[in-house]
Amino acid sequence: MRIPIYLTSLLLAFSCAPKASSEENTLAQISDPAVMQYAIPGKALYESHCGNCHQANGEGLAKLIPPIRDADYFKASIPRTAWIIRHGQTGEINVNGEKYNQAMPPNPNLKPLEIAQITTYLYNIWGMEEGVISGNDIESYLKNRPDSY
Amino acid sequence: MKTPSIFLGLVLLGAISCKPASENSIGSSELPILGERYADENQDTVYHEIADFAFVNQMGDTVTKADMAGKIYVADFFFTSCPTICPIMKKEMLRVYEDYKSDPNFKILSHSLDPTFDTQAVLKDYAEKLGVSDASTWNFLTGDQEKIFEIGQTSYLTTAMADQLEPGGFLHSGAFLLVDGNGRIRGVYDGTKSDQVDRLISDIPKLLEK
């Protein structure tokens, strides 16, 4: 009668385990070590600078704050996203067919490398795999206001 | 055959081992009355109470302390253009709203710290975008800024003031305050932390059932 004891120990071992799905642990969705190097600080920066409004899960807030996750507007342009993080945004935008019109404040203190870490994180989770977005990439994106802004 | 009983015992242990400790005693369900208190000349205890107020909600109706008599409500302080903790507070308050909006004795009072910008029309638009179509439960309040700061600081015992150094221009705590039908504060919760809001959600029925 060894098997039942073995089974019950297994049951005990798992019964209190916290939910550690890759749904919540977004970093677990990344396999490229170069991306991971950017994404780890990127996740912390996202959660402290962006997460209050866009939420840690990227879903935004009702019809006030647009989602980032699975959002056509977000996916459409990395340079525009970098520009918006730095300069903020006002006026109406359309995200997934829904209109949003809540001002986003600028983040003048975020350095290009930090914006690179945030964007690398966000563009390599939730089903996206854009690879590393470097500090140099961000510096060049921030030189010119994007057409679609 | 001893093994099966051990097996059963272990299964039972596994089943109860994750139960939160707070759920097991009904006696501890009484919520404290918070704030300063003193004994009057008859030696009766006088508890801290929310002062009189009159503010205007998102529908343009005046909401007073008298309207709240006998109602259980949650109060907080925010402003619609807040770039920091307000959105997460509103996300958490939505959970409270969804759970109790059908109870006529339950209300939410969200006071704007920036009433000059947050006019009735701005608050109505904000509430609608949040998914709150009327003010039967959730009131977004505007009014005289000094009065709102004052009631925040002295009645609700929370931080609410103008501060040019803060992002958005106002310093405020993310507190949710649970107030009973006598205008007494019965709980303070951090409205930016979902575990604390879970506790608020489980505390509300303790007052509603009275």
Read off the pLDDT of each residue in B180-191 and give the average, rounded to a whole number: 95
Read off the pLDDT of each residue in B23-45 and give the average, rounded to a whole number: 78
Question: Of residues A36 and B19, which shows the higher confidence score?
Answer: A36
Q: Across-strand partners of A95?
A: A98
CA distance to B25, B102, B182, B197, per residue, from B111 (Å): 35, 22, 20, 18
Chain B residue nearest residue A10, CA to CA: B14
Side chain identity, residue B167: P
Cβ B50 vs Cβ B151: under 8 Å: yes
- Among residues B67, B84, B87, B91, the alpha carbon closest in space to that of B168 is found at B84
Read off the pLDDT of each residue in A9-22 and give the average, rounded to a whole number: 52
Nearest-angstrom CA–CA distance, B167 and B172: 11
- Note the pTM of the prediction, 2 decimals: 0.79
- Among residues A111, A115, A117, A146, the alpha carbon closest in space to that of A132 is found at A117
With an 8 Å Cβ cutoff, are B130 and A16 in contact? no
Q: What is the percentage of chain A residues whose pLDDT exceeds 70?
A: 85
**B131-155 as b/e, with b when 16 or more CB fall inside 10 Å?**
ebeebebbbbbbbebeebbebbeeb
In chain A, which residues have their Cβ closer than 8 Å to the Cβ of B91? Answer: 55, 61
Partner A, chain B 40-79, Cβ-Cβ below 8 Å: none
pLDDT for A84 equals 97
> Per-residue confidence at A7, pLDDT binned at 50, 70, 90?
low
> Per-residue confidence at B167, pLDDT binned at 50, 70, 90?
confident
Cβ A119 vs Cβ A42: under 8 Å: yes
pLDDT for B84 equals 82
Q: Residue for token digits 């390599």? A: A124
Q: Looking at A34-48, A78-92, A124-138, B164-178, which range is the least confident one?
A: B164-178
> Per-residue confidence at A43, pLDDT binned at 50, 70, 90?
very high
With an 8 Å Cβ cutoff, are A62 and B17 in contact? no
In chain A, which residues have their Cβ closer than 8 Å to the Cβ of B128? Answer: 63
Read off the pLDDT of each residue in B174-199 and give the average, rounded to a whole number: 95
> Per-residue confidence at A9, pLDDT binned at 50, 70, 90?
low
Nearest-angstrom CA–CA distance, B119 and B56: 9
Question: Is the per-residue pLDDT at B20 higher than 50?
Answer: no
Read off the pLDDT of each residue in B160-178 and give the average, rounded to a whole number: 82
Cβ A107 vs Cβ A88: under 8 Å: yes
Tokens for A137?
Answer: 């990439």
> Per-residue confidence at B173, pLDDT binned at 50, 70, 90?
confident
Chain B residue nearest residue A16, CA to CA: B18
Tokens for B20?
Answer: 């939160």
- Among residues A50, A46, A52, A48, the alpha carbon closest in space to that of A116 is found at A46
With an 8 Å Cβ cutoff, are B88 and A12 in contact? no
Cβ B47 vs Cβ B35: under 8 Å: yes
> Considering CB atoms only, which of A5, A55, A102 is closest to B7?
A5
Question: E-assigned strands of chain B?
Answer: 37-39, 45-47, 54-56, 62-64, 72-78, 106-112, 138-141, 160-162, 170-172, 175-179, 185-190
Q: A15: exposed, middle or buried (C-beta count within 10 Å: 0-12, 13-18, 19+)? A: middle
Question: Is the per-residue pLDDT at B194 higher than 70?
Answer: yes
Shortest CA gap A34–chain B (Å): 31
pLDDT for B7 equals 53
pLDDT for B162 equals 79
pLDDT for B25 equals 40
**B47-74 as b/e, with b when 16 or more CB fall inside 10 Å?**
ebebeebebbbbeeeebeeebbeebbbb
User: Mean pLDDT across chain B, nearest whole number?
Assistant: 87
With an 8 Å Cβ cutoff, are B7 and A105 in contact? no
Question: Of residues B203 and A16, which shows the higher confidence score?
Answer: B203
3-state helix, strand, coil in chain A (%, to 5): 50, 5, 45
Q: What is the percentage of chain B residues whose pLDDT exceeds 90?
A: 71
Nearest-angstrom CA–CA distance, B186 and B179: 6
Give CA B72 to chain center in angstroms. Answer: 10
Q: Which strands form B138-141's sheet, in the order they lie side by side?
A: B138-141, B106-112, B72-78, B175-179, B185-190
Question: Is the per-residue pLDDT at B118 higher than 50?
Answer: yes
Tokens for B154?
Answer: 């002295």
Read off the pLDDT of each residue in B179-207 and give the average, rounded to a whole number: 96
* ipTM of the modeled complex: 0.72
pLDDT for A23 equals 65
In CATH, the number for domain B3-208 is 3.40.30.10
